[in-house]
Amino acid sequence: MVHQNRKEKVMSKNIPKAIWKFILPMNVGGYGYTMTMPEDAKILSIGIQDDNICIWAQVNPENTNTEPRHFFIVGTGHVIHYNKINFIGRVTSGAFEWHIFERIEE
């Protein structure tokens, strides 16, 4: 009986997953860009595709609840003006290295 309960708990956590791509405009700079993503979206990677900075995230495609996420781009040697941030990744575009961060709401 205990084993069956454990199986039911595991099955109840079987949440649908999909990978979605979100495009971050290159011209946002240190001011940032707010995009809407499904709640609990987990950022997996970042890269350049068709001259756009793209963020790939694991989402629950059935989740209709969304939340604003705040990103900004910093060039090497530039000052970061926010305290609560998460580093997302780095991309190269031509001769430039761009460092992408997510600003955490306080």
Based on the structure, what is the number of domains in the chain? 1
Is residue 6 domain-resident? no
Q: What is the pTM of this model?
A: 0.80
- Is there a domain that residue 8 lies in? no
| Residue 60 within any structural domain of the chain | yes
Instruction: Say what the pLDDT of residue 106 is.
Output: 65
Spell out the residues 6+ positions from residue 60 whose beta carbon is closer than 8 angstroms to its own: 15, 16, 17, 18, 38, 40
pLDDT (0 to 100) of residue 35: 94
Task: Tell me whether residue 77 is in a domain.
Answer: yes
- Cα separation, 40 vs 77, in Å, equals 32
39-60 confidence digits (pLDDT tens): 999 999 999 999 889 999 999 9
Asked if the model's pLDDT at residue 29 lies above 70, the reply is: no
Q: Which domain holds residue 41?
A: 15-103
Residue 32 has pLDDT above 90, yes or no: no
In this predicted model, which residue has the larger pLDDT, 76 or 56?
56
Does some domain include residue 22? Answer: yes
